[in-house]
Amino acid sequence: MTHEQKPESAEFRTREEQTDALARAIGPEKIFSLLNQSYREEITARASSHILEAEARGAADQRRKDAEGVEPVKVEVHTEWFGWCEIPMDHFEESEHPKRLLFTRPANVAALEDRVKELEGELGALLDWADGQWCPHDNTHRGGSIWTICNDCGRKWADDVKPFDPDEDFEPSAIKQARAAIREGGEHG
């Protein structure tokens, strides 16, 4: 930002315009256009590196500011009957319903991405554990004339009530949803 620009102004120079202005400030402005091409490119490259460094420093400062004291002010909870409902934090109690946290200012995206990666790792470990807790019923035998019995968990199906279907998917829906969430996680998935 130059001295002519005010923070509340929406009109800032582009990176290219700022680089050009800085290059002209580094090199003698009145003769900048008279300099040979390679010298102008060297000055412009130096100016560009200074601007990129300043942008990175500004972004790091902003991330630090974003992380300070960010607490949700409200929660939106999704229920089957009412859809998304907004609840103040002091009235919110944890439940099995999906929720969205609402903040008074933008959240720190880098911190959120790190947290998503951390939660995906924890969810992956939980899914690995869950794999051992339910039975896909791959190993069955016939018991008598009407029974199909799983050799691994002992579950039984009677042909006259609900016959065993080897193509039925026995994975619990919550586990399916968790796997889908990780698969759809984009770069985190």
Question: What pLDDT was estimated at residue 113?
Answer: 80
Cβ contacts of 157 within 8 Å, gap of 6 or more = 147, 148, 149, 163, 164
pLDDT band at 29 (very low <50, low <70, confident <90, very high): low
Q: What are the pLDDT digits (tens) for 107-124? A: 667 777 888 888 888 888
Inform me whether the pLDDT recorded for 100 exceeds 80: no
Contact 115, 75 (CB under 8 A): no
Q: What are the pLDDT digits (tens) for 136-146? A: 788 889 988 88
CA atoms in the 13 A half-sphere facing the CB of 187: 2
Question: What pLDDT was estimated at residue 68?
Answer: 66
Question: What pLDDT was estimated at residue 6?
Answer: 47
Q: How far is CA 96 from CA 20, 86, 128, 129, 169, in A?
A: 56, 16, 22, 20, 24
pLDDT band at 11 (very low <50, low <70, confident <90, very high): low
| Average per-residue pLDDT for the chain | 75
Ranges of each domain in the chain: 15-67, 71-104
pLDDT band at 2 (very low <50, low <70, confident <90, very high): very low
Question: In percent, how much of the chain has pLDDT > 90?
Answer: 3
Q: What are the pLDDT digits (tens) for 172-187? A: 777 778 878 777 764 4
The side-by-side arrangement of strands in the sheet containing 156-158 is 140-143, 147-150, 156-158
Highest-confidence range of 12-16, 44-48, 95-99, 150-154, by mean pLDDT? Answer: 150-154
Model's pTM, two decimal places? Answer: 0.34
Question: What pLDDT was estimated at residue 115?
Answer: 80
